[in-house]
Each structure stands twice: as structure tokens, then as C-alpha cells.
Structure 1
């Protein structure tokens, strides 16, 4: 009797540029918003962050977006999801409401910002 050894390799999942995730929430529909750029996850600053931006993020995540809540870091409504770490990738976003991805919105989408992690945005999709 002979045996055959089969080896398999698993390629790790690498998110695509501009992928979003929610971190620190009590469900998959809420949390601190993080974006994947230049090979690493980072955060979004509260400057100009609002309901329109939150709706686009929820839609991009495949979640309900009609009544999205945009939490603004340390400004009302304050984010209950805590600060992130790493690079703050997005700042001064001004979405029109028709974009398919958050990184398509006008603003600083390359890590330029005047923020700190107490200003990281949060999101609740419903």
C-alpha cells in the first residue's frame, strides 16, 4: 500500500485598496471605522465627517445605510468606539453621496491630516 502526501499552501487574505472595516463595536454593524491603504489599516479623522460620508461607508461595507450614525471622535456625537492606532489615512472628506467607495470622496486620502487618534470616527449602520 502506498501513501500520497498532498501539500497545500494557503495564501493570506490581503484586503483591496480602500477596503473598510469596523472595529470595537458590539455588533458587526458598528465600530471605529478603519480603511486599508498602502498595505496597512488606518483610521479616518472627524474633520468634515458627517451623515453622507457615513452612508457611503455603510453601503461600501454592504450594510444598511439609510439611518447611518456618524460618530465624530471627540466631538458630538462622540464616538464610543475608542481611538485607533497607526496612520490616520483619511481627513477632510466631502462626499457627494453618489460615490461607491469612501476613498472616492473629495478630501485628503493619502495620510495628510492635522488629527490625532482621539478624533477617529465611528459608525453605526442601520
Structure 2
């Protein structure tokens, strides 16, 4: 087999590998940073964490912009009516704006949801 054929075979194998990567793996491999904004559009304090780092501004009406290279996973308590923490986690997307709002789809009017607003 000629050197050109070996190079082409290797190139095609590498392309197949890249095609198999999912979006999260691609972020990890590229080492890219994600930046997104989280608003608290409620009137209550919502403690939440992004990639394990607790927010400094959990209060109603606050706005926080996050930059992370660790995946952009937000974790928060969505139901203050139950004792303990009812954790909900989402992987947030780069360049988006999200808002904590009351979830009117549930029977308990104080449930919290994180909505993608852009």
C-alpha cells in the first residue's frame, strides 16, 4: 500500500472518530468556554450552583453572567414546599439567557423552573 493510501485511510478513520463524538464530548475535547446569563425573575432567594460553584447572587431580581469551561451544568432546588432539596440539573448552552420563574404548569404555585428565554 502506498504512503498516500495509508494517509488517506488514517484520515478517514479520524473523521469517523470525530463524527462519533457527541456535543458534550466535543466541548470537552475543544476545551472551549461557555458563557450564559441567569436571571432570577421571582421574588424569592434561589440558591443554585453552576458546575459546583454556588452563586453569589441568589436573590429575586438578580442577574448573573457565568463563564465556565466545565460543561455549564446548573443545579437548583425546584420545590421549596417540601423539606430538603429537590434538585434539578440542566446543562446550559453557550450564549443563551435563562430565567428562574414560577412554574405555573404544576399544582404548587411556588415551584421553580429554569426557562431558556433567548
Higher helix share: 2
Q: Normalised by the shorter chain, which TM-score bucket? A: under 0.3
- TM-score, scaled relative to structure 2: 0.24
- TM-score, scaled relative to structure 1: 0.23
Larger Rg: 2
